[in-house]
Amino acid sequence: MTTTDPVPRGRPRSSGAHKCARCGRMAAKIRVRWPEGAICGICFTNALHITGTCTLCGHEGLLPGRHDGADVCRSCAGISTNMTCDGCGVEAERFRSGHCIRCVLHADLSSVLQPHTPPDLRLKRLINILVETDRPESIYTWKRSKAANGLLAGLGARDISLTHLAFDALPQSKGVEFVRELLVHHSILPERDRHLATFERWLDTRLENLSTTASVERPIGQFGRWHHLRRLRTMSQPGKNLSAATRSAKQEITEASKFVTWLHEEHRIGFPDCRQAHIEDYLSSGPSTRQLIRTFIVWHLKAGTVSRLAVPHRYSERKPLITQPRRLELINHCITATRVAKSPRVAGLILLLYAQPIIKIVGLKTTDLIARPDGLYLKLGTTPALIPEQVSELFWNYLRDRPNQQTGNKNSAWLFPSTIAGQHMHVDSLKDKLRTLGIDLAAARNATLRDLVSELPPTLVAQALGYSAKVIHLHAADAAVPMAGYISAKTHFSSEPRS
């Protein structure tokens, strides 16, 4: 609501040719001539808003005149301007056609709200409430705004009913909320938890922002509306404060949105295709607030959108980590353990050198290995990463002699083919094999990431490894690494692994 004067009477006063007797400024126009002299528009309006008891005659009412610095009544000041409303007889500024502003408002609002056709007592009361507010000029200004026009015309045409639901459906504006509050205050609308109302609008905006990606918006919308909103509406009762409940609902929806966005951006999958390995990868590679996706997962499990997923109740706050010497020992083991099958050794190296999650490793294709004059590269992110010379031979040998190349699975496109034709190795199967090699998966991956970011600028690591820059910067922060300190990937990876 604006609180400006009803009509733009206050034209710039400094540039005019008429001197106002009251404020002394040069006005472009004078509004009225009173015994004290010419009065500008602003002073006129102000004068017609002064009420009290006249010091000269004791008259109670409007005191537009001045006498020895005191406000005095019309007759004592000798003012002949008519200040009586033709409608209600009240002493006030004749705002329009001889009527005071309240009479004008009443007429205008009645004509748009049509409280008699068909008769609606609540609309009649709304008109009276609006007319009797402290600042009818504000209502008059607001009434002429586009938003108010839509609301009032809708109510008048009975297209908008006097319910919270109907108000919720309107474009959000301060005016709509102002009218809603008036209606609630005067018991025309029932009390409603304002936290719930705020939450509903927040959810709408949130989903609107996500709507460009349907695969993200859908599961979040279902969770937000069918779970949280329904629950909060049931909880909403007079006297009950939903502040804490709505705050936690917002947190859970926010975290769930981040998770589903991550699935979409990092793995190019929708939520129904999410697997346990994704959840574990997500939880282990970020802050503990990620744990808040639990309710979202549990609700969708019940709804049947996803299956066979679980969120561990408490995920370790401290990230598991192996020491760098242990990591180098494992790298060496992968290179030299010739009695072990090549596939877990190659996968193990990808994990220990590039910190890739297992779910991403099993999905690698042979085309992700790129031969260039200066060496063999592995394409994980946007910039292919050079495979260190010491291990590239193993990669070459492995390419020539991949397992599970039986009839029907010949020339599989997968780097780690499954025994089942056309499929890649199962995540759990590869995990078991890596554990047999002595690799603690999450700890190894965190140690690798930490080492990578301590020697390379985080953005370069992110580009080469296909991580989002955010994840890499988090690991860099963990390792307390300054962002500078550039050492080329080649230098780093060429260093002799210690055993």
Instruction: Indicate whether 70 belongs to the interface with Zn ion (CB under 5 A).
Output: no
Distance of closest approach, residue 73 Cβ to Zn ion, in angstroms: 3
Select 57 or 483, whichever has its Cβ closest to Zn ion.
57
Q: In the complex, what is the shortest distance from the CB of residue 51 to Zn ion, in angstroms, rounded to a whole number?
A: 13
Closest contact distance (angstroms) between CB of 130 and Zn ion is 15
Determine the distance from the C-alpha atom of residue 173 to the mean position of all C-alpha atoms in its chain, rounded to a whole number: 18
Calpha distance 243→199 (Å, rounded): 9
Contact residues for 239 (Cβ-Cβ < 8 A; gap 6+): none
Please report how close the Cβ of residue 82 comes to Zn ion at its closest, in angstroms. Answer: 13
And the tokens for 492?
């780093």
Give the residue with the Cβ less far from Zn ion, 84 or 383. 84
Q: Residue 34's beta-bridge partner residues? A: 37
CB atoms near residue 239 (< 10 Å): 6
C-beta separation of 76 from 53 below 8 A: no
103 or 476: CB nearest Zn ion: 103
- The answer to whether residue 54 forms part of the interface with Zn ion (CB under 5 A) is yes
Judged by DSSP in three states, 35 sits in coil
- DSSP letter at 155 equals H
Tell me the number of residues near Zn ion by CB under 5 A. Answer: 16
Query: Contacts with Zn ion in 377-406 (CB under 5 A)?
Result: none
Between CA 410 and CA 422 the distance in angstroms is 9
Q: Residue 59, interface with Zn ion (CB under 5 A)?
A: yes
Binding status of residue 52 toward Zn ion by CB under 5 A: no
446: number of CA atoms within 13 Å, CB side? 20
Q: Interface with Zn ion includes 38 (CB under 5 A)? A: no
88 binds Zn ion (CB under 5 A): yes
Q: Which is nearer to Zn ion, 103 or 434 (CB)?
A: 103
Beta carbon nearer to Zn ion, 56 or 188: 56
Q: How far is the CB of 194 from Zn ion (least distance, A)?
A: 35
Q: d(Cα 292, Cα 311) in Å, to the nearest integer?
A: 9
Place of tokens 């066979």: 308
Is residue 22 involved in binding Zn ion (CB under 5 A)?
yes
User: Which residues does 387 contact at the CB level (< 8 Å), separation at least 6?
Assistant: 353, 369, 375, 376, 377, 378, 395, 493
- Point out which span in 51-59, 221-229, 294-302, 349-357 binds Zn ion (CB under 5 A): 51-59
Stretch that binds Zn ion, among 29-37, 55-63, 284-292, 332-340 (CB under 5 A): 55-63
The span from the CA of 263 to the CA of 271, in Å, is: 7
Q: Is 6 left (phi over 0), alpha (psi -120 to 50) or beta?
A: alpha
**CA separation for the pair 436, 440 (Å, rounded):** 10
Kindly tell me which residue out of 1, 38, 56, 166 binds Zn ion, with binding defined by CB under 5 A. 56
What DSSP assignment string belongs to 278-345?
Answer: HHHHHHHTS-GGGGGGHHHHHHHHHHTSS-S----SS--SSPP---HHHHHHHHHHHHH-TTS-HHHH
Q: Which is nearer to Zn ion, 138 or 222 (CB)?
A: 138
Nearest residue (CB) to Zn ion, 57 versus 310: 57
Q: What is the sign of the dihedral through the CA atoms of 451, 456, 461 and 464? A: negative
Closest approach, Cβ 44 to Zn ion, in A, equals 8
Pick 22 or 426: Cβ nearer Zn ion: 22
Binder of Zn ion out of 57, 214, 469, 483 (CB under 5 A): 57
Q: Does residue 21 interact with Zn ion by CB under 5 A?
A: no
CA triple 372-374-376, angle to 5 deg = 55
- Judged by CB under 5 A, which stretch of 34-42, 128-136, 231-239, 426-434 contacts Zn ion? 34-42
The strand ranges marked E within 323-412 are: 369-372, 375-378, 385-386
Residue 477 engages Zn ion in binding (rule: CB under 5 A): no
Task: Select the span of 4-12, 75-83, 120-128, 455-463 touching Zn ion (CB under 5 A).
Answer: 75-83
What is the CB neighbour count within 10 angstroms for residue 124? 14
Is residue 87 near Zn ion by the rule CB under 5 A? yes
Figure out which of the listed residues 48, 73, 292, 346 binds Zn ion, where binding follows CB under 5 A: 73
Closest approach of Cβ 70 to Zn ion, in Å? 10
Contact call for residue 43 and Zn ion (CB under 5 A): yes
Can you tell me which of 30, 40, 394, 476 binds Zn ion, judged by CB under 5 A?
40
Q: Is 23 in the site for Zn ion (CB under 5 A)?
A: yes
SS3 78: coil
Q: Which residues pair with 224 in a beta bridge?
A: none
Check residue 63 for interaction with Zn ion (CB under 5 A): no
| Cβ–Cβ < 8 Å for 129, 182 | yes
Q: Is the Cβ of residue 90 or residue 188 nearer to Zn ion in the bound state? A: 90
The footprint of Zn ion on residues 95-114 (CB under 5 A) is 100, 103
The residue range among 37-45, 200-208, 227-235, 381-389 that interacts with Zn ion, by the rule CB under 5 A, is 37-45
If the CB atoms of residues 88 and 370 are measured against Zn ion, the closer one turns out to be 88
Positions touching Zn ion (CB under 5 A) are: 20, 22-23, 40, 43, 54, 56-57, 59, 73, 76, 85, 87-88, 100, 103
